[in-house]
Amino acid sequence: MATAATASHPASASTSGRDALAAASSSPAAVCLVPFRWWARVREEEAAGGVRYAATAAASPSYYGLRLLHSFLHPDLVLRLERGDGRAGGGGGSGGGRSYALVPADELSRALARQNSGFGLQNKHSFAGDSAGAYPLVLRISVRETSILNLRISKKDNPVENYKRANKIFNVDSQPVHVWDFSGQTNLILMNEWNRLHHDYCHADQENLLEVQVYAMSDSLTSKIGGTNKENSGDVNDLDRSFGRFGSTGLIGLENLGNTCFMNSSIQCLAHTPKLVEYFLGDYTRNINRTNPLGLNGELALAFGELLRSLWTTDRKPVAPHHFKEKIACFAPQFSGFNQHDSQELLAFLLDGLHEDLNQVKCKPYEEAKDASGRPDEEVADEYWSNHLARNDSVIVDTCHGQYKSTLTCPTCSKKSVTFDPFMYLSLPVPSTAKRTMTVTVFSTDGSREPCSYDVSVPKFGTLSDLVQALSIACLLGDDEILLVTEVYNNCIIRYLEEPSDSVSLLRDGDKLAAYRLSKKFEKSPLVVFTHQHFDEHSSVDNVTPQTKEFEAPLLAAVPETVNGLSLQDIYLKLLNPFRLSKGASSPSCTAGSNSDPVDLMDGIPSDSDSNFQNIQLEDDPESSNCSTNECEIRKGPSELNDVGTADSDKGANLKEFEFYLKNERGDGQQQKIDINEVDLLETVPSRLHVNVHWQQNASRQYDNSMLNNLPEIHKLELITKGTDDSVALHGCLEAFLKEEPLGPEDMWYCPCCKKHQQAMKKLDLWRLPEVLVIHLKRFSYTQFTRNKLETFVDFPTTDLDLSSYIADKSKQPSSHYRLYAISNHYGNMGGGHYTASIYHEEGKGWYKFDDDCVTPMSEDSIKTSAAYVLFYRRE
């Protein structure tokens, strides 16, 4: 098919125009190029139907651009403008440079007939200002295997004029248009250096190609302008069938090059982020910063842009991202080779690398962070954000960067430090719904109550803070008390579990735990640790002399102000008060490992129906780490009230029942017998004073030592089977991320008031939300000894994610409601797994599963799984 329309001087325009129009109108597929302003006026006055070519970047530019072109042309048409004499050079005016309308020939013929004129030059609406130049303009429309609209441009126009002309002729925005120069100056044109070029840039022997590239075209086959067109080929019916089959774009898979599913998943999610699609399908190369020392010389941005464009063609053939992987491995060696990696780690590197490659700040100014110093949060936040934007300006910042408020509080002097930091994504902890039931025996440090064992449920991969919280609720810990949890082995405390952030996974099932109730006023005081051994009448060598046996559970108390033999004896006897047997009294009924079912706690108020004994039973509380305890009787009989007096009256007898030995700071080695009457026992008191007590044979008959002699082991893991309770809401993950918690020992904060590093409390609040919110669910946990993956089902909203309740500053937020559009999924475990992507496709109005090179539709109900790893939301 070939159709020609000419625009020449008035002397010859009438005859040649009518002949060309008559020839063109005989073909039903013929179109004509006419001045747009003239055609607009004709349309308005005559109400004639006309079609104006417009390749605009709509919400889905690739789709609408194709449909508009296909409505009357064809997605593979080449528009070629050249001088009528066939010469490439010479003087004269421009071969184009005005806005034109592409009009079906039959429509134009009817419009001209109604206007009673020729090709418009004799019409009452003249072509003034729309002259094509001194040489006649010839338009050839032919079917070719290309997706480029080619135009001959004037040698007298500089690239800026060529670029503007492309926008005017085809009525397109600036982003979809690319100006290519075949003289070797392409980089100058594309790198935003146009204003430096002279007007005589285009030489007479130089050929330029002005390219108007419609989104989603197949790979273009550009050729030099000039000479005759002999490549006209193609079957229109075949092309029509091709368009119908591949009309939807963005549904192209990525080949797995060998354990590269993690990369494919992240790329597909980014390649379907609307703002990034629009940006990289436009002239993004103008914004590449090749001089940024923190960037990658623009190579990562170019590789990603090339890959994204290949994913937004109408050809559904899977793409092999060899070149992109080579660039990734070049700049991030950790991703080289063919091992499996974390998709979120690649995503973080990719976002940061693209930002630096496209950062428009050539010279980053130094901005000193200032403390709030009592200023309003709004003022401080704006100052931090302005400093951030002064050093960072890219499409990644505009799309993905947000800001949160961080507050540090010193535990000693309560000094607060407030900062406002940017974020590119949120890494949210996933509260595990898999529970571990642990048994801990709680002892008093003042002899006020007998020990009791509690079964508490903590998250499988929880922390010691979770354990202490659950245990505090179970044992009704007072506001003025703290719990000191220890690990006991072979009659000794081998470890004090004082770091709240340590994982409970470090504790084995066979370990034995003891916790001690300690008054807060003694939290920083030295402690005395009593280990003890007794004569076991049931074990002897000669059946006459009993053997000594060590008690399993040490006892612990605050060190007295005066450390001597009598003070240590008084403390030890006081600790033994709960174990003393009175006449007619049975053994204490608090037993380890009781399996009694818990009942209601009655708001924590113990029953007073029995004046001598109180039975306190605890039930699971979903708001207290789901702790559960065994039935525990706390003895508060009259005999206990007189224990101190009894101890005083029997002091002479006690001197013969117990012997005290001083041990070294580690609690082992040689023992030094303590003289009860010694006044000055120690010159300096260590933080842990270890004393070993030898029970005489008659002492064992006066005390019930069952709780001292047998500590229960930690129970085995109890995993809750998956069901409606085995899930957590995304809002729960957000709350866990934003809650106040202590810093780890490796992240100590220097307090300017205390003049030393402190384990401060840290509180986060969201302050400024980004256009695209990326949420990383922290399913993987790593320790020195273990690697685990949480399979917890996170229930996340697909529409209307409302974050308004988590925003500290609601005054400047355009919207805090988000819609889900992409998910990076991980199936399997740490040893082996597979990544996929679930993506909402705007053109298809539905969800699709991207499994490497396989792309298939999926229902919205099936996108919510326990495999969801990285969530992509965009602001509604």
Q: Which two tokens stand for residue 254?
A: 């990525």
Contacts of 42 (CB under 8 A, 6+ apart): 48, 50, 111, 115, 125
**Beta-carbon contacts of residue 731 (< 8 Å; ≥ 6 apart):** none
Separation between Cα atoms, residue 219 and residue 231, nearest integer Å: 17
Regarding beta strands 868-875 and 772-778, do their DSSP bridges make them parallel or antiparallel, or are they unpaired? antiparallel
What does the alpha-carbon distance between residue 793 and residue 139 come to, in Å, rounded to a whole number? Answer: 62
Which residue spans within 715-832 are E strands per DSSP? 727-729, 741-742, 749-751, 756-758, 761-768, 772-778, 780-782, 787-789, 793-795, 801-802, 817-828
Beta carbons within 8 Å of 444's beta carbon, 6+ residues apart: 450, 451, 516, 517, 575, 578
Whether the CB-CB separation of 770 and 838 falls below 8 Å is answered with no
Going by the DSSP 8-state scheme, the letter that residue 192 receives in this structure is T
CA dihedral 8, 11, 17, 19 (to 10 degrees): -130
Q: How many CB atoms lie within 10 A of CB 33?
A: 23
What's the rounded Cα separation, in Å, for the pair 681 and 684? Answer: 9
The residue among 246, 308, 247, 316 whose CA lies nearest residue 272 is 308
C-alpha torsion sign, points 281, 286, 289, 290: positive
Catalytic one among 32, 261, 400, 475?
261
Q: Count Cβ neighbours within 10 Å for each residue of 522-556 and write b for 16 or more, e otherwise.
A: beeeebbbbbbebbeeeeeeeeeebeebbbbbbbb
Among 70, 388, 817, 834, the one annotated catalytic: 834
- Tokens for 87? 């010469």
Q: Which amino acid makes up residue 60?
A: S
How far is the CA of 196 from the CAs of 186, 189, 200, 626, in angstroms?
Answer: 14, 10, 12, 70
For this structure, is 261 an active site residue? yes
- Quickly tell me which residue has 């007072």 as its tokens: 478
The DSSP output letter for 54 is: -
Three-class SS state of 36? helix
Distinct helix (H) and strand (E) counts, the chain: 21, 39
Amino acid occupying residue 472: S
* Residue found by looking up tokens 């079917």 in the block: 143
- 751 is annotated as an active-site residue: no
Give catalytic residues, as residue numbers: 261, 834
